Amino acid sequence: MMDNSSFKKSPFSENVGACVEVSRMGDGVVVRDSKNPGGPMLWFSAVEWTAFLYGVLVGEFGLGS
């Protein structure tokens, strides 16, 4: 189990418990559901995480603003 203090979420996130939290782990990033911090986590390599963030930046996922 990871230390809860290492997880961060967006400062723009409302405090309603429907957020994802991220933390560095090894040479990658772990993502978890803020409503279930003891539940499953997804691990992404640094390359995968960078590609995801770039996709968000350029609007690749069509989420709008």
Predicted TM-score of the model (pTM): 0.77
- The predicted-structure confidence for 9-51, as pLDDT tens digits, reads as follows 888 777 776 789 999 999 999 999 988 989 999 999 999 999 9
pLDDT in the model for residue 14: 74
Residue pair 14/1 in contact by the 8 Å Cβ criterion: no
Residue pair 28/41 in contact by the 8 Å Cβ criterion: no
Give CA–CA dist 61/50, Å, rounded.
15
- Sequence length of the chain is 65
Say yes or no to pLDDT of 65 above 70.
Answer: no
pLDDT in the model for residue 2: 65
